[in-house]
Structure 1
């Protein structure tokens, strides 16, 4: 029988007849070389046919041949080759069947010392035990020699042959002498079975264990995996020429070059099979097993006796268990973490190493991702499909498999694991995130902060969102969030350990729980720790950029997104669209959108895109409130107040106005208003939801209490203060008063189409064309003016145009008397012409109806019903009396029948009218009008047209 010779690489002796204790301690199982080249279909050692010459790539034969072994694995004479003295005593005929390693004298001491008694009856268990312990202790020379001989003939076991004949029939028929083909075939069958639901020839569990143990025994040296060795000889020379064999180093080197263009397809296939075996049993990786052995013991990662060994041995189980220890702040050795990093990267780079992905995502891969299998591109393609970016969704099992893989690989803790992301985002990291250490978990957070900015590139944006979609569905996959919040999550949300399954909790449930507690007040109790709240806010700010990063929102709003927002594909448009259609949404979706909007009102930084757009005005006018660690609606209030500053750009204006419009839908969406007035609303305005209705309800209550001079106002002081802020904000844009806007939409289109919204310009346009308005719009405008005259501070245009004059003349005047103060100073030389013009406009308005002149109304409270009741009887609540009541009072004034207060007001009114009529008032021509007196306009129209400074009364007695 031809004997194998030394390896072509002189550093790897295959075996020696005499094994030194040092070699025994090193534990390299080079002798499995022959085992891997024995065809399974042969039944006797005599039938072996060695390759001729040096065709196996090996060198000269060793000085001492190996000890032969008989058919059942026991040492004994074969072909008259003498047995080595050390094992001559072990070849008794009585052991022709049922021979046990444990019964041999040469291994008994080592076995008793190192291996549990229950393993002694199983030769493979004994071999595995001694293989595992060889790193920690020396094994006797004779025992080591005996073990080598046993491994040499291991695959002659009939159970391998029978399985091989059934599963690998074609391979055996084609080439019964090929190097390692049968073992390779069985290994491929083993991994293929994990990737298929229906197996034509299922492999028994015991047989699977045996195949896997053979793979474990070849983990030390790639020469021992004969199929891989012959498939990768040239690739080893090309990529790993200087890599010393042993301790799995050549495997690692070849793995790192697997996707190189120069790598042969045959070698790549053999390496993939080897990697797939590692994912099923981590012990098939020598370097990982050696580096993590102590850590696995320390963190009790293989002590669960209730768990099937097959699952316990899986690479994903090892990674999850050790990653859990790392995330909990426990110590895991640097060597072990380094090995884990390599295998996590391996899982991300090649989706085919995850049998669940191959099994459950086959359809998605074939339909959407064919031909993208290298460097993690297929996985990212599947992630993209999972996000719904390709217009379709993935099967639930495929989604679950992807989520499990992301958890095992844990790319959130080190972005470099994800090569596709790393390559796509390298330029962004170098510019936007260069201040962060390479590999730091904060790199991903930094990339998210620069999403949709000028520093972001398209490829990076896509890869980042694909990964974040899955990270957002399991709070544990953000390592910083987990580190800061694990205690809070256990206390408040009843979470389990990092690596424990969470099937009972839907995606995103833990994070939803955390953010509900993040914004609780002290009175509500059970709040988050400060560090955890900071991280929750960070995640909320990032997720606001894309609705798909909010699992709860996407799940509940899937139907509504399709129905209302299918064309809203721009950045941030989907959430805005859902908010715009809040009243139309299904209850589940409406609830989650409402909760998120309520949260935004408290912390507007969640609206990341709005904050970016408004940075100039924030820096100039709101920096004092934006720098606060806790935002309680102050930033948005400041932005509203500074909407018309020169630093304000169109994007910011549109964003702020949109948020104001959304706030109108529910008073809870205005945080400061909600906190100041919630008790008042419950008491005075129950069952009212819309903010505008709540404002009207509270304002009406305040007004009625004021008019009736009640001793104690029903609306609390803190609520009245915030109510005033809300009323002032609403007065700036007619759209913020939905009922008024809805009834005047047609009139706006007909009369004010060229006027822009904001700055109360649209409202002013309607006021100036009041006579041309439709009845409903006219009535609403009249009611609005009535409120403004009663409380001039709500007259946005008056307050804006006369802002400096108010500071000059009316600093100490009560807001309700502001117009009166301005009127009294109207003819001052220091009065600004624009303000003077605005005062005149308001006087003209007041003269159309006594109800629009609150001072006159109060002074003549008893006179009006006494002398002018017939006119009141014909009056409508919502339309002007065109000066009829004032005309009535003027006649009584001539008869000297008015009360003193009323008489003073009418005298003043007559004097002002007279001055305007004779042109003493230097009002601009467009404002100068007889409209100051409606009755004068009616009865003296012709005379006034020709009037000049030498005005003379006309013939009409009323004139």
Structure 2
């Protein structure tokens, strides 16, 4: 520390010379001011006069001082009176008194006088014998005694009345005073005593441009001024009103500065005062010791943490360097810094952000940017520059050098640690904090984190959001600026991502590497196999990823590569927080580099719900309730499964959010984590050509279906099949999740299902109901869906959702749910809504044998044997309208089917007897008859009334259409084969079968024949119950009518034999056959002998021919 002090004895000589040169102008010469040419006056060093008379009793001043410094308020000693005078205006003291005052000032700062004054108060702390004033100043930081500090403060106050008294100020700064025109000479030279403060203030304004020796003197005086605002005469005068209004109750003199600075941006502050406070802040930014509060509160810690080890040996240390050093100690968890020091640090960090002029680098590197973007914004200039630091599609961007300086400033001010540091953020978000974060203490980024969690909610205001994102833009590019993240992950980042161990160093240059630390940490978090992050670090990484997930500018790895796509596809009309969603929705149209990063980012969001703020915000309650066991697995998959729960259906926000991500996931199969993990190897092997997720689903489902129908071992694993079913189920539920169906059926939906809302498979069910009217392209897609769903019930959304309770009660295998439900649907207590869906599915199943895998499996051999022409080349993606079943029914009547196939066909015929809609051929052939003759009948409750109506119509000769008549006759004939295909008759005669036919094995028409034998015997017929007797009598008449109408032409000798052998008159046919054969035999015997005799006679009568 270099400071040249004037030897005080020379000051006495100065006074003497001044008084002898011109006694009438002693005051003017003694003031040693600078003339208009800024030349220093010659200092007179010959004064050594002692003033024995107290100042109060001096003739020139006694009258004035009596009123200005009354005895009631001030003691009579010179020190007290001189202290009083310092607070008076120059005009209040006469010229003659001013010279006397100056002489007494010189006397009191002499070595002897000072020694006598301070000895009673400071004898244990100061033992200065020479250059006492200089000695006192140098020992100021060591003084602890309040009485001593109080007396020295009075001496300082007197010394600062003229800087010649305490330093070589005018000598070392002469060149700079001339260069920057800092000489001050009031119009009245007699008032020049009080002008020296203006000269110092002028030099302080040009501090960074001063010569080194002058700069040191100015900073030394500035440090001394920090003891009391009264030492800075220019500031004290300019801010007198402000001090009187807000700081009159401040006890400590140096704290008055802090009080004034806190109010520097108030609208009613005079510009002159504001300018002087800015001057003071600039001094602090250049030398932290100019701030008495900071230097005193943090002195011990500056030394403890060796904050000078990075710096030069000069006394001058910039504020930013000290702040970074102390923040480094705090963030590295090695500090025990007092709250007082932390509080001072916060105030000074706030000061740096409040005015860009306090950072010379900002002034120099950002001058053009300030002119272009932020002219005249005063305290909001830095925030304006921040706003223009990230890519803006309208306003432009600051230069790179300015960007670097802003990064450095944000690091220095550590704005991410405490929201109150940034005045603009504090003002913009105060209301939000008061309302939604009232219990959270400032510091350690706690309030910042609370505010980040409120983004994109009704709790956040636009003004606060804008200010918050300005700061977070920089925080996102340097992981050290997020205190909780840095504290939890410091060592992991150093070990795994090559980050520095130190939080920062005072002279550290900006490096863009800081923005890559978080992505690096998250890669380790995602990799479950090699995860090395500590639990606390994992939690913080997830928090930060979640909070920044919505905004492109908070994800530099996205922003850098997607700028062009953002400008092209996500215009400025889109609100903040919607850009990433926009990029996700336009994934296929992005540049390849942007596509890659968005794919990876979307996969991250789908994989880890903890980094997906929208899901967490809208569905947190349901995650806790339904998906707690899967919190570390696939929460999205869980949410999709339970999104149709009754409690969740009422929460439209959560449901809409889930469906939004379902739509996004359609673009890439790896966006669905469980699906990707289970099926990735099969996709590579079998579906490498497929590009989109729906194409992959279609490819895999085709392989699974073919393997199932072929009854071979599935190529796809059970886990993958399960995930595939889940994806198909989602497609069925909402047509939006099935792009192919939506595109193919777009016109059909508008035509037939325009008023049907999407969701709950309603649109798909509507298309099924209108299947015959659909366009060919749409019909093909619907056919495939039906084929899949009827083959594997686990993809049938309507069936599973409607029959959920019944399935849970009766059907453990979800894939066989329909088969299971068909068997139990007639049980008491079965849900009616579920029963209606089951019947509907049976109707669909009977339209094509390919829809019935159980029938196909059971009758495969019979189909090949008897219906090969129908199954060899069936129409692709089109129903065969029950033709294969009809073929099997013909063989069933002929009793040619194998038992396994026969049982399956009996089940189909039994169900069809109760509901004509289950017989597509009957429904097609008898459409008009059903409408005209059976219009009032309804089979919805499966009463079989329509089929009975048609049978009666056949008996009454009302069926004109031969095709319909034959089909109905066939139904009647089928009863002869097995009574079970006539459920009404079976129900009526069930007890009689148990009584009379219990020994008769079922099948082959034996039960019906048993009953017919009984009714044919008048005695036995009386034993039948009435209902059975009536129903059986009706059936006998129908059998006769059917025999008259139903003529099935034999297709082969086997068919002919079958018909004859099963005919009631088969004996007659056999008798006739044998008679015919006998007649042929007898005719042969007779005519054969006659023809032989004729030949013989001819030969005898013609011997010549015999020779031949």
TM-based fold match above 0.5? yes
State which structure, 1 or 2, has the greater radius of gyration over its C-alpha atoms. 2
Q: 1:493 aligns with which of 482, 490, 497?
A: 497
Find the aligned partners of 1:729 and 1:682 in 2 and give their Cα distance. 23
Once the two structures are TM-superposed, the CA of residue 318 in structure 1 deviates from its matched residue by 1.0
Find the aligned partners of 2:891 and 2:33 in 1 and give their Cα distance. 126
* C-alpha spacing 1:571/1:149, structure 2 compared with 1 (3 Å): closer
Once the two structures are TM-superposed, the CA of residue 472 in structure 1 deviates from its matched residue by 2.5
> What's the CA shift string for 1:341-364, capped at 9, x where partnerless?
221122233333223333444455
Partner SS, residue 45 of structure 1: coil
Find the aligned partners of 1:746 and 1:539 in 2 and give their Cα distance. 46
- The farther-off stretch of 771-780 and 632-641 is 632-641
Find the aligned partners of 1:37 and 1:472 in 2 and give their Cα distance. 55
Q: 2:204 aligns with which of 167, 172, 187?
A: 187
Show the counterpart of 1:344.
349
Once the two structures are TM-superposed, the CA of residue 764 in structure 1 deviates from its matched residue by 1.0
Alignment of 1:663-742 (within 5 A): 663-682=665-684, 684-685=686-687, 690-710=692-712, 713-742=714-743
Show the counterpart of 1:409.
413
1:800 corresponds to 2:804? no
Q: Given that residues 412 and 441 in structure 1 are in contact (C-alpha distance below 8 angstroms), is that contact kept between their aligned partners in structure 2?
A: yes
Once the two structures are TM-superposed, the CA of residue 571 in structure 1 deviates from its matched residue by 6.6
Q: Given that residues 939 and 956 in structure 1 are in contact (C-alpha distance below 8 angstroms), is that contact kept between their aligned partners in structure 2?
A: no
Q: 1:283 aligns with which of 289, 314, 317?
A: 289
Q: 2:609 aligns with which of 593, 604, 614?
A: 604
* C-alpha spacing 1:567/1:65, structure 2 compared with 1 (3 Å): closer
1:587 corresponds to 2:592? yes
* C-alpha spacing 1:819/1:335, structure 2 compared with 1 (3 Å): closer
Partner SS, residue 180 of structure 1: helix
Show the counterpart of 2:823.
824
Find the aligned partners of 1:661 and 1:457 in 2 and give their Cα distance. 30
Partner SS, residue 875 of structure 1: coil
Q: Given that residues 68 and 149 in structure 1 are in contact (C-alpha distance below 8 angstroms), is that contact kept between their aligned partners in structure 2?
A: no
Show the counterpart of 2:523.
516
Partner SS, residue 61 of structure 1: helix
Q: Given that residues 229 and 236 in structure 2 are in contact (C-alpha distance below 8 angstroms), is that contact kept between their aligned partners in structure 1?
A: yes
Gaps of 5+ in 2: 1-9, 13-29, 46-88, 116-127, 935-947, 968-1108
Once the two structures are TM-superposed, the CA of residue 303 in structure 1 deviates from its matched residue by 1.8
Q: Given that residues 639 and 658 in structure 2 are in contact (C-alpha distance below 8 angstroms), is that contact kept between their aligned partners in structure 1?
A: no
Alignment of 1:147-546 (within 5 A): 152=166, 154-157=168-171, 160-168=173-181, 178-190=195-207, 203=210, 208-233=215-240, 235-241=242-248, 243=250, 248-304=254-310, 313-329=317-333, 330-362=335-367, 365-366=370-371, 369-370=374-375, 372-374=377-379, 377-386=380-389, 391-395=394-398, 396-439=400-443, 441-496=445-500, 497-500=502-505, 501=508, 503-506=510-513, 508-521=515-528, 523=529, 525-546=530-551
> What's the CA shift string for 1:690-728, capped at 9, x where partnerless?
3334434443444444444445x4433433443433333
Q: Given that residues 541 and 608 in structure 1 are in contact (C-alpha distance below 8 angstroms), is that contact kept between their aligned partners in structure 2?
A: yes
Q: Given that residues 301 and 337 in structure 2 are in contact (C-alpha distance below 8 angstroms), is that contact kept between their aligned partners in structure 1?
A: yes
Partner SS, residue 303 of structure 1: coil
Alignment of 1:558-957 (within 5 A): 558-566=563-571, 569-570=574-575, 572-615=577-620, 617-618=622-623, 622-626=624-628, 630-634=631-635, 636-648=637-649, 649-682=651-684, 684-685=686-687, 690-710=692-712, 713-808=714-809, 810-812=810-812, 814-872=813-871, 874-917=873-916, 929=917, 932-948=918-934, 949-951=948-950, 952-953=953-954, 954=959, 955-957=961-963
1:54 corresponds to 2:60? no
Partner SS, residue 716 of structure 2: coil
Find the aligned partners of 1:663 and 1:59 in 2 and give their Cα distance. 89
Q: Given that residues 550 and 578 in structure 2 are in contact (C-alpha distance below 8 angstroms), is that contact kept between their aligned partners in structure 1?
A: no
Q: Given that residues 173 and 213 in structure 2 are in contact (C-alpha distance below 8 angstroms), is that contact kept between their aligned partners in structure 1?
A: no
Once the two structures are TM-superposed, the CA of residue 788 in structure 1 deviates from its matched residue by 1.0
Which structure dedicates a bigger proportion of its chain to helix?
2
Query: Whose RCO is larger (CA < 8 A, sep 6+)?
Result: 1
Q: Given that residues 169 and 218 in structure 2 are in contact (C-alpha distance below 8 angstroms), is that contact kept between their aligned partners in structure 1?
A: no
* C-alpha spacing 1:60/1:257, structure 2 compared with 1 (3 Å): farther
Show the counterpart of 1:41.
38
Q: Given that residues 320 and 412 in structure 2 are in contact (C-alpha distance below 8 angstroms), is that contact kept between their aligned partners in structure 1?
A: yes
Gaps of 5+ in 1: 1-14, 18-33, 70-81, 88-104, 112-125, 192-201, 918-928
Q: Given that residues 726 and 795 in structure 2 are in contact (C-alpha distance below 8 angstroms), is that contact kept between their aligned partners in structure 1?
A: no
* C-alpha spacing 1:673/1:226, structure 2 compared with 1 (3 Å): same
Find the aligned partners of 2:610 and 2:165 in 1 and give their Cα distance. 66
Q: Given that residues 565 and 578 in structure 1 are in contact (C-alpha distance below 8 angstroms), is that contact kept between their aligned partners in structure 2?
A: yes
Partner SS, residue 259 of structure 1: coil
Once the two structures are TM-superposed, the CA of residue 847 in structure 1 deviates from its matched residue by 2.4
TM-score, with normalisation over the residues of structure 1? 0.78
Once the two structures are TM-superposed, the CA of residue 531 in structure 1 deviates from its matched residue by 0.5
Partner SS, residue 447 of structure 1: helix
* C-alpha spacing 1:174/1:473, structure 2 compared with 1 (3 Å): farther
Q: Given that residues 846 and 852 in structure 2 are in contact (C-alpha distance below 8 angstroms), is that contact kept between their aligned partners in structure 1?
A: yes
Q: Given that residues 223 and 229 in structure 1 are in contact (C-alpha distance below 8 angstroms), is that contact kept between their aligned partners in structure 2?
A: yes
Find the aligned partners of 1:35 and 1:298 in 2 and give their Cα distance. 45
Once the two structures are TM-superposed, the CA of residue 279 in structure 1 deviates from its matched residue by 0.8
- The farther-off stretch of 248-257 and 763-772 is 248-257
* C-alpha spacing 1:871/1:714, structure 2 compared with 1 (3 Å): closer
Find the aligned partners of 2:866 and 2:843 in 1 and give their Cα distance. 24
Once the two structures are TM-superposed, the CA of residue 36 in structure 1 deviates from its matched residue by 11
Q: Given that residues 255 and 271 in structure 1 are in contact (C-alpha distance below 8 angstroms), is that contact kept between their aligned partners in structure 2?
A: yes
* C-alpha spacing 1:36/1:446, structure 2 compared with 1 (3 Å): farther
Partner SS, residue 93 of structure 2: coil
> What's the CA shift string for 1:111-136, capped at 9, x where partnerless?
9xxxxxxxxxxxxxx99995787669
Show the counterpart of 1:116.
none
Partner SS, residue 499 of structure 2: coil
Find the aligned partners of 1:884 and 1:47 in 2 and give their Cα distance. 131
Find the aligned partners of 1:698 and 1:128 in 2 and give their Cα distance. 90
Show the counterpart of 1:99.
none
TM-score, with normalisation over the residues of structure 2? 0.68
Once the two structures are TM-superposed, the CA of residue 530 in structure 1 deviates from its matched residue by 0.3
Q: Given that residues 940 and 956 in structure 1 are in contact (C-alpha distance below 8 angstroms), is that contact kept between their aligned partners in structure 2?
A: no
Once the two structures are TM-superposed, the CA of residue 269 in structure 1 deviates from its matched residue by 0.9
Q: Over aligned residue pairs, what C-alpha RMSD do you find? A: 4.2
Find the aligned partners of 1:519 and 1:499 in 2 and give their Cα distance. 28
* C-alpha spacing 1:434/1:382, structure 2 compared with 1 (3 Å): same
Find the aligned partners of 1:58 and 1:890 in 2 and give their Cα distance. 133
* C-alpha spacing 1:309/1:732, structure 2 compared with 1 (3 Å): farther
Q: How many residues align?
A: 843
